[in-house]
Amino acid sequence: MKVAQAKLKEIGPDDMNMEEYKKWHEDYSLFRKVSVYLLTGLELYQKGKYQEALSYLVYAYQSNAALLMKGPRRGVKESVIALYRRKCLLELNAKAASLFETNDDHSVTEGINVMNELIIPCIHLIINNDISKDDLDAIEVMRNHWCSYLGQDIAENLQLCLGEFLPRLLDPSAEIIVLKEPPTIRPNSPYDLCSRFAAVMESIQGVSTVTVK
C-alpha cells in the first residue's frame, strides 16, 4: 500500500500523463478493495463464519489476480488468500456433508444449498484459473467424500439429491456458474486496515505478522 501511495504522490493530476495518473488511481482503488475483502474474510473465518468468509476470500483472490498480472508487487501474496479460501471450502464441505447425512429434509436442503450456491461455484472459479497442487488436492478430497456415498446404502431421496448436484461437482465445464459478490464494504484508513490485519493474523496463527508504525 505504501508503494501505491508514494507513486500517486509522484504523479499528481497536474502532470502531463493523465492516463497514467488515472490508471494508478484505478489500481490503487482495486488494491484497497482486495485488502478490505481479504481482511473481512479473515475476520469472519476467525469467528467461524465460513459461509460468509468464503465469498469475500473468493472475490479478494479474483481481484488480486488482476492486479498481479500487472506486476508481482501490485497485489497481495496470493498464497495467503488461497490458504484461507481452501480452509473455508473444506470446513463448509464438512458441514454440508454432515447436514446431508442427517436425512432430515430441512437439513439436507440446507446442505445441498451450501454446495450449489457456494462450494461448487468456488470450485469452478478455482479450476478455471491456474490451480495449485494444494487446491487440487482439496478439491479431490471434497469430490471423493461425496462420491463415497454412491457405494453406501442411503435413502432414495438422498440418492436423488446426489444425482442432481454430483455431475456439477465433478464436471466444471458443464455450465457457467456465477458466485454472487459479497456486500460492499467502505474501506477505512490504511493504518486501520493494517492494524486489523495484524490483529487477525496474530489471532489465527498465534504470531505477530505485521508491525504498524
Using one digit for the tens of pLDDT, what is the confidence trace for 15-68? 556 777 777 778 788 888 888 899 899 999 999 999 999 999 999 999 999 888
In this structure, the answer to whether residues 67 and 82 fall within a common structural domain is no
Is the overall model pTM greater than 0.95, yes or no?
no
In this structure, the answer to whether residues 113 and 21 fall within a common structural domain is no
In this structure, the answer to whether residues 82 and 176 fall within a common structural domain is yes
Per-residue model confidence as pLDDT tens digits over 60-73: 999 999 888 888 88
Length of the chain: 213
**Residue ranges in the chain assigned as alpha helix (H):** 2-10, 18-46, 50-68, 78-101, 105-114, 120-127, 133-147, 156-170, 190-205
Cell representation of residue 91: 470446513
Do 197 and 43 form a contact (C-beta atoms < 8 A)?
no
Q: Is residue 93 part of a domain?
A: yes
Cell representation of residue 78: 496470493
Q: Is residue 206 part of a domain?
A: no
In this structure, the answer to whether residues 102 and 165 fall within a common structural domain is yes
Count of domains observed in the chain:
2
Residue 177, pLDDT score: 67
Q: Cα(first)–Cα(last) distance of the chain, in Å?
A: 13
Is it the case that residue 180 has pLDDT exceeding 60?
Answer: yes
What residues make up the domain containing 112?
77-182
Is it the case that residue 81 has pLDDT exceeding 80?
Answer: yes
In this structure, the answer to whether residues 57 and 94 fall within a common structural domain is no
Q: Is residue 195 part of a domain?
A: no
Q: Is residue 197 part of a domain?
A: no
Residue ending a domain, choose from 47, 75, 103: 75
In this structure, the answer to whether residues 95 and 169 fall within a common structural domain is yes
Residue 7, pLDDT score: 56
In this structure, the answer to whether residues 66 and 41 fall within a common structural domain is yes
In this structure, the answer to whether residues 61 and 126 fall within a common structural domain is no
In this structure, the answer to whether residues 70 and 82 fall within a common structural domain is no
